[in-house]
Amino acid sequence: MEKIRMSTPLVEMDGDEMTRVIWHMIKEKLLLPYIDLKTEYYDLSLKHRDETNDQVTMDSAYAAQRLGVAVKCATITPNGQRVTEYNLKQMWKSPNGTIRAILDGTVFRAPVLVKGITSCVINWKKPIILARHAYGDIYRNVEYRVPGKGLAEICFTDEDGHETRLPIHQFKGPGVIRGMHNTDESILSFAHSCFRYALDCKQDLWFSTKDTISKTYDHHFKDIFSDLYENIYKADFEKAGITYFYTLIDDAVARVIRSEGGFIWALKNYDGDVMSDMLATAFSSLAMMTSVLVSPHGQYEYEAAHGTVTRHYYRYLKGEETSTNPVATIFAWTGALSKRGELDGIPELCKFSAALEAATVATIESGKMTKDLVPLFEGEAQSLSTEAFLDAIAQGLSARLD
């Protein structure tokens, strides 16, 4: 069989530990036999980030801007312990944070559903895609431990030196305060990404905040979404037969639980952080959660939602057999290849990606899976090593492509 040719390279961002091991197995067993894989390769392993003073991370993000589609392996975000373990020059920032800061945009997370692993929420029949705003709020806050009696205020000084002051609280004793912010620019790009993604995958878009309590901050998010919808996206939504729906977050949580899924749920940074773990666990596990960063300029970066699975890697280094789940990483590749196919007009790439996704799901449904899924599976389940599981998928894929 002739290999599928690509016209534009994918930006390949290699990573760390167990996921790096899996990364190369996926390429060798599932991709290279069928695709004349063209990638612009960036090694984002911690060692190489350190060697390049993290320049490689920035270069990879600029490459994603230039080429439009990237696929990223999980990477270590160093902490104190990693600085010692890898003898680092400094505690480099989170690569995902760096890439997000360059590309801007929104992270969309969706579970991979398989028959035999039912969600804890029995009425969920279709995936719920979560869109998390990835800038500001408590993740960029300034906090202060109030030592005792005193007045806490918000003070804004404009360019001309004018001060606007608002009292927060007259403390009668010790306590805590926090200041946080967001910008119109970032909220606008979040909203654009959500509306575009909804149109891309033809699904309803829900958005929820706590605007009843936060009458300026959260309400501003609500207003920006509503303005964009009314003035830019409404006609396209109506044409696509999808809806935009705003509701208070309390009401949204209740509706999400009662729904059958099949929509995109956009959330502010903290709400998205918490709810994505809830959704991943309720649907099955983090190892089955895919993730894509969509920039407001139409660039895409696909990855798995989980980390580098360190505990498994240390066992792998000792020569022990590991059973790490590669599904989210496979879907990062299929997402990226399929998007490349769509942008470059190469339907074979989209067909291949669909076949690989179907083969992956079918392998699990046939009872072959990694160890983490076994307790969740309703039928007879066989626990395989990562490599044996990938071999089983490769067999299914080859049968499908024949």
Cβ distance to ligand NAP smaller for residue 42 or 263? 42
Angle made by CA atoms 191, 193, 199, in degrees to the nearest 5: 105
CB of 206 to ligand NAP, least distance (A): 25
Cβ distance to ligand NAP smaller for residue 75 or 284? 75
278 binds Mg ion (CB under 5 A): no
3 state SS of 5: strand
Q: Which amino acid is at 13?
A: M
Do 208 and 265 form a contact (C-beta atoms < 8 A)?
yes
CB of 372 to ligand NAP, least distance (A): 4
CB of 269 to ligand NAP, least distance (A): 16
Nearest CA among 241, 268, 284, 249 for reference residue 121: 284
Cβ distance to ligand NAP smaller for residue 71 or 76? 76
Choose the one of Mg ion, ligand NAP, none that binds residue 362, judging by a C-beta under 5 to 8 angstroms depending on kind: none
Counting every residue written for the chain, the total comes to 402
Q: Which residues bind ligand NAP (CB under 6 A)?
A: 74-77, 96, 286-287, 303, 306-311, 324-325, 372
Please give the structure tokens belonging to residue 159: 């360019």
DSSP string, 199-229: HHHT-EEEEE--TTT-TTHHHHHHHHHHHHI
Q: Which of 59, 204, 273, 387 binds Mg ion (CB under 5 A)?
A: 273
Q: Which helix (H) or strand (E) holds 262?
A: none
Choose the one of ligand NAP, Mg ion, none that binds residue 325, judging by a C-beta under 5 to 8 angstroms depending on kind: ligand NAP
Cβ distance to ligand NAP smaller for residue 175 or 307? 307
CB of 82 to ligand NAP, least distance (A): 7
Q: Which helix (H) or strand (E) holds 32?
A: none
Q: How far apart are CA 236 and CA 48, in angstroms?
A: 45
Choose the one of ligand NAP, Mg ion, none that binds residue 398, judging by a C-beta under 5 to 8 angstroms depending on kind: none
Choose the one of ligand NAP, Mg ion, none that binds residue 273, judging by a C-beta under 5 to 8 angstroms depending on kind: Mg ion
391 binds Mg ion (CB under 5 A): no
Cβ distance to ligand NAP smaller for residue 108 or 195? 108
Q: Is 396 exposed, middle or buried (0-12, 13-18, 19+ CB in 10 A)?
A: buried
Please count the CA atoms within 13 angstroms of the CA of 283 that sit on its side-chain side.
29
Question: Footprint of Mg ion on residues 117-156 (CB under 5 A)?
Answer: none
CB of 72 to ligand NAP, least distance (A): 7
CB of 74 to ligand NAP, least distance (A): 4
Q: How far apart are CA 325 and CA 314, in angstroms?
A: 16
The binding site for Mg ion (CB under 5 A) comprises: 273
